[in-house]
Structure 1
Amino acid sequence: MLKSLLTGVSFAALLASPVLADDAENPKEIIITATRAPTPVIKSGVSVDVLDAETIRNKQSLSVVDLIATTPSATISQNGGLGTVANLRIRGAEGDHTLYILDGIRLADPTQIGGGLNAGLLTTGDISRIEVVRGPLSTLWGSRALGATVNLTTVQATDELSGDVSVEGGEAYGAIRAGIGGTYDKLSWRVFAAYLGDDNVSAYRYGAETDKFTQNHVRVALDYKLSDAHSLKLRAAKTRSHNDYDGFAPPTYAFGDTKDYGNTNEGLYSLGYQYKGETVTHALSVSRTDTERHDYDGTNFETLNGRGKVTTVDYTGTAKLSDTTRFVFGATQEKSEIEYSSFGGPVLSRDATLDSAFVQVSHDFTEAFNVTGSVRYDDHSRFGGQTIGHLSASYRAADNLVLRGSLGQGFKAPSLYQLYSEYGNTNLKAEKADSGEIGLDYFLPAQNARLSLTAFARKTENQIDFASCFGSTHPLCPTRPFGFYDNIARTKAEGVELEYVGDLTASTHLRANYSHVTSTNDLTGAKLPRRPRDLANVDVTQDITPALNVSLGLRYAGKTTESAFSTRQLNSYTLADLRAAWAINERVTVFGRVENLTDEDYETAADYGTPGRRLWVGVRANVF
């Protein structure tokens, strides 16, 4: 299946790190996410952006969604500062229509309304590479890969012994990260730990007090080669997060400063086996994610008690039939479980399974022309079976010019909360989307650069939304007086993306993009909320010397509406970040940044706070 959470050390994790080209804009660069097998980017046929280790390090961001928001057609809405609830909408899709994968583990939280995750808790930690694929990949990755797929890869040990540590911060905020790892005979290992704290932003925009966020994270990775062809992989991680947040306090229940807070504990575990032959590979993994959420009001009364678990058994194989024809195939069984109660009410305890199988065929008709097609069948224990497909093609029209296009279907299974909560509806169907895109990539070898232009369109049906029972005679309303979830929404999005990534000179590097995205309710024609039509990013890095660089990042988001129930507008804004890094020697680097350089007063969600101008300074060192 490939839907929810964790395909453990699935094929992507088993292959992701060792085969990357040095140059992220090289047309021969190898990517994983778009095909679940190592594939040159020019043969993927879809829109892919890669943030490599150097890019992530230069941007100095602690938030994954902030990094992804620098790629085309991506916009953030967040309920406060770092660590608060965040939605990343890509190409106008819903936040839970993006699938996040970490070292092959599909991330999700069944206690969330849509079954996705709070993307605001995703910090950069030990992440060394991010692949962002825009467009549906549900045929390969299952549910939630309806609008986009984000694949996160962590640092892998390659030296006999290596260690690194970094410390950074400012007034009332800071982060400490440390990792150690190595290789010995057939074993490679790495242990990583991090702490992050921020007590500088009020979740309520006009609040008189700040809301604290802290996060502790530890991760262990072990790889063992049984032989040249057989290997085992183990991954385990624990994350504990604490958030203060603002809410709606009695007696007026108006949004404002409150003493509400929440604790989230997350565990990720996977064990995988891989066989890698000359023409055939097999990867089998068992993985699990476990999330506990506890929220409390200002009197320490527990308002939410939730636990969500997803256990996945995943098999992926590849077969090279010839130099021109390749197969990828697999099967998955995923079981999702939820235990959930709110405000001391009854405990909701439910589960669901999703069994799936897929096959992908890629064929090079000529050295310049490649076609890839995939089909997937899913069988859900609640709403039954369905089949979806995806077709992409790429054509190298000239040495430096690639034309590409794709047509595909995506789906998202109803979450356990949407099916079984006090607002649940067991008659829900899967959300489905039909998408298409055409684009061209022009590579400029002298500038080590790529210039891309893409046009896309997507239509989503059976989209799940909340249906009010006020004045309704629906049969569910007698037992759902406030309302229920139903397949009542239908949306569409279309747009264009222009992007340049590469060098301007030997010492000046540029990442820039502009996106125009129109997202509307297909039934009413109304604009979808919190989705600016115009988005732009510019990031320029200047190497002053081989040891010193300075960079300026600019992010623009146009105006948008706040919600489907309000005509309130969120104003456009432009954020500027100034960054610098100086390598004192081969081991030690001093770095710093000024976030929101102009102290822009802006909102990504109405009445929620955002960080003002902040200075961070830090040092990182390779200790072995």
Structure 2
Amino acid sequence: MSNLLSRPRRAHAAAVLAVSSVLAASAAAQQAPADDSTALEEISVTANRVEGPAAAIGSAVSSISGEELKRRQIRVVSDVLRELPGVAVNRTGPLGALTQVRIRGSEGNQTLVIVDGIRMNDPGTSAEFDFANLLNLEVERVDVLRGPQSALYGSDAVGGVINITTRKGEPGPTRFRANIEGGSFGALTGTASVSGGTQAYDYLIAGQGYRTSGISTAKRFDAFAPTSSLDRDGYQSGTGLAKVSVRPNELLEFTGVARYTDFKADRDGFGAASDGSPFAASVDTRDTEKGKQFYGRAQMTATLLDGAWGHVAGLSYTNSDRRSFDGDGAKTFATVGEMTRFDYQTNYRFATEAGLPASHVVTFGADHTRDAVDSFTQFPSQRAPTVKQHIDNAGLVGQYQLGLFDSLFVTGSIRHDFNDRFEDDTTSRLASAYTFQRSKTKIRASYGTGLKNPTTFELFGFADNFVSNENLTPERAQGWDVGFDQPFWNDRVVLDATYFQQRVKDLISSEFVPAKGAGQPVNLAGKSKIDGVELGLTVRPFADVSVRAAYTFTDGEDPNGDTLVRRPRHIGSVNVNYVFLDGRANANLGVVYNGRQKDNRFDAETFERAPVSLKAYTLVNMAASYKVTENAEVYGRIENLFDKQYEEVFTYNTPGRAAYGGVKVSF
């Protein structure tokens, strides 16, 4: 659901690309080979739901490898998303607090998140995925596909898709990895994994524990309470991951993956503060939240006709159980969101030589999803204290990809959805890409339509400050983009640029209803308009130096012409990595810029909404590691080096400078 504010008069542009341009210019004078250790294979599945070369992708996609995550010492996956084009991240306080990710100005629940083939969006809340509890446990690759993708993925993929893949076991002896780390705010984390396999099977079993005493979620306002003391809000979580694949022969593979997370987080409330402030804010309380999350998938893959005909059939199940308690331990709110999904996809590849030589890939898919919610509130008002509802949706997908001369690729997709509550709907997508062989310039363009169904909670749920609306209709979107990818100097410099435009109709927004004393979701009349530019730059001037930079300009407004909240117009980042001492040592410098953005402020008595502006901020992070032996490594990092004070959400606190160090071993 969208929160709406007025358009800002002006915003400050990020300077990160200027720095990157200087580095790129210096690369032109170098003749060293590129550093392949951080390069991703030119293979992508996310963009077209079928494996193929990067040359066949007409959509805008950004990827980052697990090796890069390790070198940057990323502990929370959402932190690396801040450095990719088109992505904005907002966290309501310290680590462990609600973390929303938006792509191209779309809402958080218009971003589909997939981990190891499992759709992670939680139907028990707002049907978005909360990144708060997704730590970097054996992540192998992160892909971000931007633009409406409902023709391929159905509801939730209006803004784009984030696809995360974790590591598989490799053929060879059993391998053990472990690390332990501690640092600021009483943080302590440990990770261990065991993996192995043969040509017939592979396995990975991993676990991770994390705890921190944290900081106060509520922000102190000295103007109203200069002597107030705020308690820290701690967080702890444990995650287990298991992946097993069995290949009885070269044609067949069975795969199972399961992820379980248990967490507990101290929370601060939201409302009228006792310090005399005129607006509602995050209030220092003793509230807590506990949760258990399970995500699992079983999959069968069959490859026939010498690899030309592929089949994938899978069953996914997710269960997210969240419970909130007040300072006295009384349960105030609880919700269980369940998703059960059956899916099947087949791909057939063939080539034709007569007339015009061409390659062809035909794809057909079918799926059925049930989203269910079981919620409880201590404040039922006009509704029953418990709600149990579900929505069923079935979809059929067809896609055809044509390739000519290994240079021109055109892909068309169409999907038809059958929903037991809403009218049937059809979405489509068309993408094309052409690569000039001489200059290696790739030009690409795509157009797609998107669909976002109202969530079970929006339709039937209830909370102390929220009233559902059973008359909601789906949000519908259409968007297009055009861009290019250009390598220079033997691929040691790669520049990509994209212009995008997106329109969303019937956007669901929360409106305050005085008679009910709570907010209620409604469909806004008219269209929301979002336009922008995405730039990416990768530079490898030497074999041991790599630079990645990104910049995004986003101009988004609701049907009334007001600026969409928590969508900064300017976002930029630069990351520089240096490997030295014959590969034993690594140093990393990261800079993230988040421009001025709008948020909502609520009156302390009437809860009437008004716009407020959050200042721009720049965060600098440093990390270094050293391999003492082939099996042992020491490392450390500093986050928010210059102790910047900033807000990502109005009245919610953020961490200051922090230092961490640890030891990693492998056998």
TM normalised by structure 1 equals 0.92
Report if the CA contact (8 A) 1:528-1:563 is conserved: no
Q: Does 1:268 align with 2:289?
A: no
Query: What letter is aligned with 2:113?
Result: Y
Report if the CA contact (8 A) 2:171-2:198 is conserved: no
What residue number does 2:265 align with?
A: 243
Which one of 227, 237, 248 corresponds to residue 215 of structure 1? 237
Which one of 589, 597, 601 corresponds to residue 641 of structure 2? 597
Report if the CA contact (8 A) 1:25-1:501 is conserved: no
Instruction: Tell me by how many angstroms 1:249 deviates.
Output: 6.8
Which one of 107, 123, 128 corresponds to residue 110 of structure 1? 123
Q: Does 1:34 align with 2:34?
A: no
Query: What letter is aligned with 1:312?
Result: R
Per the alignment, in what secondary structure is the counterpart of residue 156 of structure 2? coil
Which one of 611, 615, 624 corresponds to residue 659 of structure 2? 615
Equivalents in 1 of 2:80, 2:50: separation in Å?
25
- Written as runs of structure 1 = structure 2, the 5 A alignment for 1:113-152 is 114-152=126-164
Report if the CA contact (8 A) 2:282-2:652 is conserved: no
User: 374-383 or 69-78, which moves further after superposition?
Assistant: 69-78
**Deviation by residue 1:74-105 (Cα, 9 ceiling, x = unmatched):** 22211111110011122111111111101000
What residue number does 1:396 align with?
A: 435
Q: 1:426–1:248: structure 2 CA closer, same or farther, 3 Å change rule?
A: closer
What residue number does 1:374 align with?
A: 413
**Deviation by residue 1:119-155 (Cα, 9 ceiling, x = unmatched):** 2222111211101111121111111111011111111
Instruction: Tell me by how many angstroms 1:447 deviates.
Output: 4.8
Instruction: Tell me by how many angstroms 1:504 deviates.
Output: 2.4
Q: Percent identity?
A: 26
Query: What letter is aligned with 2:122?
Result: D
What residue number does 1:297 align with?
A: 326
Q: Does 1:494 align with 2:531?
A: yes
Equivalents in 2 of 1:344, 1:267: separation in Å?
28
Query: What letter is aligned with 2:460?
Result: Y
Unaligned runs of 5+ in 1: 1-20, 471-476
What residue number does 1:174 align with?
A: 188
Per the alignment, in what secondary structure is the counterpart of residue 78 of structure 2? helix
User: 570-579 or 527-536, which moves further after superposition?
Assistant: 527-536
Instruction: Tell me by how many angstroms 1:548 deviates.
Output: 1.1
Which one of 540, 546, 561 corresponds to residue 503 of structure 1? 540
Instruction: Tell me by how many angstroms 1:506 deviates.
Output: 2.4
**Deviation by residue 1:41-80 (Cα, 9 ceiling, x = unmatched):** 1211111111112111111111111111110122221111
Q: Does 1:550 align with 2:594?
A: no
Per the alignment, in what secondary structure is the counterpart of residue 315 of structure 1? strand
Report if the CA contact (8 A) 1:447-1:504 is conserved: no
Equivalents in 2 of 1:481, 1:67: separation in Å?
39
What residue number does 2:309 align with?
A: 280
What residue number does 1:387 align with?
A: 426
Query: What letter is aligned with 2:236?
Result: T
Report if the CA contact (8 A) 2:81-2:89 is conserved: no
Equivalents in 2 of 1:600, 1:151: separation in Å?
31
Equivalents in 2 of 1:581, 1:85: separation in Å?
30
Higher gyration radius (CA): 2
Instruction: Tell me by how many angstroms 1:185 deviates.
Output: 5.9
Report if the CA contact (8 A) 2:110-2:157 is conserved: yes
What residue number does 1:416 align with?
A: 456
**Deviation by residue 1:214-238 (Cα, 9 ceiling, x = unmatched):** 1101111111112211111111121
Instruction: Tell me by how many angstroms 1:292 deviates.
Output: 0.6
Q: 1:257–1:268: structure 2 CA closer, same or farther, 3 Å change rule?
A: same
User: 166-175 or 245-254, which moves further after superposition?
Assistant: 245-254
**Deviation by residue 1:176-235 (Cα, 9 ceiling, x = unmatched):** 111001114622111110001121321112262110111101111111112211111111
**Deviation by residue 1:497-522 (Cα, 9 ceiling, x = unmatched):** 1211231222221000111111111x
Instruction: Tell me by how many angstroms 1:344 deviates.
Output: 5.9
**Deviation by residue 1:217-264 (Cα, 9 ceiling, x = unmatched):** 111111111221111111112100111011147885763210001011
**Deviation by residue 1:301-347 (Cα, 9 ceiling, x = unmatched):** 11111111110111011111326110121000011111101116421
Which one scores higher on RCO, CA 8 angstroms, separation ≥ 6?
2
Per the alignment, in what secondary structure is the counterpart of residue 181 of structure 2? strand
What residue number does 2:557 align with?
A: 520
Equivalents in 2 of 1:239, 1:69: separation in Å?
23
Equivalents in 1 of 2:287, 2:271: separation in Å?
9
Q: Does 1:78 align with 2:91?
A: yes
Equivalents in 2 of 1:107, 1:54: separation in Å?
24
Q: 1:371–1:251: structure 2 CA closer, same or farther, 3 Å change rule?
A: closer
Q: For this pair of structures, how many residues does the alignment match?
A: 592
What residue number does 2:24 align with?
A: none
Instruction: Tell me by how many angstroms 1:425 deviates.
Output: 2.5
Report if the CA contact (8 A) 2:85-2:552 is conserved: yes
Unaligned runs of 5+ in 2: 1-34, 221-228, 275-279, 352-357, 602-608
Q: 1:394–1:162: structure 2 CA closer, same or farther, 3 Å change rule?
A: same
What residue number does 2:377 align with?
A: 342
RMSD across aligned C-alpha pairs, in angstroms?
Answer: 1.9
Equivalents in 2 of 1:336, 1:497: separation in Å?
34
Query: What letter is aligned with 2:311?
Result: H
Equivalents in 1 of 2:569, 2:399: separation in Å?
34
